[in-house]
Amino acid sequence: MSSNRDIQIEFDEETQNYYVSWEPPIAIGLGKTKEEALEDLREAAHLGVDTLIDLKLRDVRWNFNGGAKMKITKLEKRFVNSKK
């Protein structure tokens, strides 16, 4: 299930480093003023970045641990707590 918006992690044999690339999705901010709209955009973008990186880290850790059960991330805890 790969798409252009997925975070891609590659290894460069020549430099012996990992590099990460990502084409972020579009974020939209709304507000009654320009300032409110910009602040809303910031919040939306941060949430999107945090969420996608947390999901990719979970995938990397899951694969590294051979599928072992992992700890719940802070973002997942926030999501669960927000539903209460």
Mean pLDDT for the stretch of residues 42-67: 86
pLDDT, the chain, mean: 80
Please state the domain count of the chain. Answer: 1
DSSP, residue by residue, the chain: ---TTSPEEEEETTTTEEEEE--PPP-----SSHHHHHHHHHHHHHHHHHHHHHHHHHHHHHHHTTT---PPPHHHHHHHHHT-
First and final C-alpha spacing in the chain:
31
pLDDT at 72: 55
**Residue 1 is assigned to a structural domain of this protein:** no
Query: In the predicted model, what is the mean pLDDT of residues 50-74?
Result: 75
Confidence of residue 25 (pLDDT cuts 50, 70, 90): confident
The answer as to whether 66 is a domain residue is yes
- CB burial of residue 30 (10 Å; 0-12, 13-18, 19+): exposed
Is residue 3 in a domain? Answer: no
The reply to whether the predicted model has a pTM over 0.75 is no
Q: Is residue 43 pLDDT above 90, yes or no?
A: yes
Domain presence at residue 74: yes
Q: Which domain holds residue 14?
A: 8-82
Q: What is the pLDDT of residue 66?
A: 62
- Answer whether residue 2 is part of any domain: no
